[in-house]
Structures are given as structure tokens and as C-alpha cells.
């Protein structure tokens, strides 16, 4: 997600489908909101996640990262940079819009504007790590899995998320998580830029 628009199905600063609360924004979404992860904590979390991803396959030759716009993009970019530093290998990074695959979007009659998908590699036979900023109900990841299969048959699909806030509605497991943050369903977890342009995660 670029840090401006909410992901389909997530309530944030702009107009969006009410439902999943967790998305990307900017510091205007509430400067007094408690900070869950500041920029340094995000760097530490993504570095640890990158180490865990590399440990599953030290060669990383068959690994690709697929970010879910919008908030998954900056998280995936940080993980890719850390993997490059750890392994000396440039791990392919793509972005996959899942808007039209979401069952809750269709059910609510919402007409979303699709975002660009950029998949400059084949996924067949690859280990695909889907990257998002916030894991909530699991519906976004389920949609991403459906979307990935339209590009081919991966050897495996794994999930990495910066924040897991719970409240799963589907049996979706996170393989790599930066931080578990217990929340009420009415709260929002927001990945945004602070006044200095640094990433931070706040709870509202």
C-alpha cells in the first residue's frame, strides 16, 4: 500500500469499506495515536523476519516476495533489502492487487478501483512469500492466494506480516510476524509516515 489510501476492506483515513481496521496512512490520521512500532522497531522487526525467511531456505534461489498494496509494499521493500544484505542475493519482488478477489468486497457491492499488479517473474515452482502490513481477518491473504494461483502453481506459499492483530475469520496462519498486537475489533492498526517521513505503526 502506498501510504495514502486504505486497502479494500480496511477502515482508515480515506473512504473505504468498513471492516478490516488496519492500513497505511500518514501522520494526519491522528498524531496522538499510541505508537506500536517506531521506525527503528520496524527495521529490527523486518530484519528478524528476513533472517527467519532466509533460514527456511539459505540459498533463496527459489524465493520470491509478493507485496500486497498498499502497506505491504514498504514492508516488503525493507525485507528485500535485509535479505540482500544477509544473503548477497537480490530476491525478486512483485506487487499483487487482490481487490477483485476479496469475497467481502463483492458481498458489500463495493466497486473498488483496481491497483497495478507487477509480477516480473514466474511463480510456478517458486517459494512465494506474501507480504502485508497488518494481518486481521485473513480475507486479504485468502484473496492473495487465489490471485497468485492465476499466475501459476508455486511450490509453497508463506505469509509475512509486520503486525498480527488477531480476530481471524479464516484459518490463515502467519509464518513470519514482526509483532503480535492484541486489539479490539473496533480499533485500527495504521502503518503511516510520521512528520519526518519515517514509517511507524500506531493504534487508534
Q: Residue 118 above 90 pLDDT?
A: yes
pLDDT 10s digits, 140-152: 999 999 999 999 9
Please report, for the domain that includes residue 84, its CATH number. 3.40.50.2020
Quickly state the pLDDT bin for 26 (edges 50, 70, 90). Answer: low
Q: How many domains does the chain have?
A: 1
User: Per residue in 27-75, pLDDT tens?
Assistant: 554 457 899 999 999 999 999 999 999 999 877 889 999 999 989 999 9
| Residue 165 maps to a domain | yes
Q: Above 60 in pLDDT, residue 5?
A: no
Domain that residue 132 falls in = 22-203
Beta strand spans in 11-58 (E): 22-26, 35-37
Average pLDDT over residues 166-181: 96
Kindly state whether residue 27 falls inside one of the protein's structural domains.
yes
In a domain, residue 143? The reply is yes
CA distance readout (Å), 30 to 12, 14, 183: 11, 13, 17
Integer Cα distance of 70 and 90 in angstroms: 22
pTM: 0.83
Report if residue 100 sits inside a domain: yes
Q: Distances in Å between the alpha carbon of 101 and those of 71, 97, 202?
A: 18, 9, 28
Q: Does a structural domain hold residue 123?
A: yes
Amino acid at each position: 500500500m502506498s501510504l495514502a489510501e486504505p486497502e479494500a476492506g480496511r477502515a482508515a483515513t480515506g473512504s473505504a469499506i468498513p471492516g478490516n481496521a488496519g492500513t497505511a496512512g500518514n501522520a494526519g490520521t491522528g498524531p496522538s495515536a499510541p505508537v506500536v512500532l517506531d521506525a527503528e522497531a520496524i527495521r529490527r522487526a523486518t530484519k528478524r523476519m528476513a533472517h527467519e525467511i532466509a533460514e527456511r531456505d539459505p540459498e533463496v534461489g527459489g524465493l520470491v516476495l509478493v507485496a500486497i498494496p498498499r502497506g505491504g509494499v514498504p514492508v516488503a521493500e525493507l525485507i528485500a533489502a535485509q535479505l540482500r544484505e544477509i544473503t548477497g542475493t537480490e530476491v525478486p519482488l512483485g506487487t499483487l492487487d487482490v481487490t477483485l478477489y476479496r469475497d467481502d468486497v463483492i458481498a458489500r457491492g463495493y466497486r473498488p478501483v483496481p491497483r497495478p499488479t507487477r509480477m516480473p517473474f514466474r511463480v510456478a515452482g517458486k517459494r512465494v512469500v506474501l507480504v502485508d502490513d497488518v494481518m486481521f481477518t485473513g480475507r486479504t491473504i485468502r484473496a492473495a492466494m487465489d490471485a497468485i494461483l492465476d499466475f501459476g502453481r508455486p511450490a509453497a506459499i508463506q505469509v509475512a506480516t509486520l503486525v498480527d492483530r488477531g480476530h481471524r475469520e479464516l484459518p490463515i496462519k502467519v509464518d513470519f510476524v514482526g509483532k503480535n498486537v492484541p486489539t479490539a475489533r473496533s480499533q485500527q492498526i495504521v502503518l503511516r509516515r510520521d512528520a519526518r517521513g519515517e514509517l511507524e505503526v500506531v493504534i487508534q
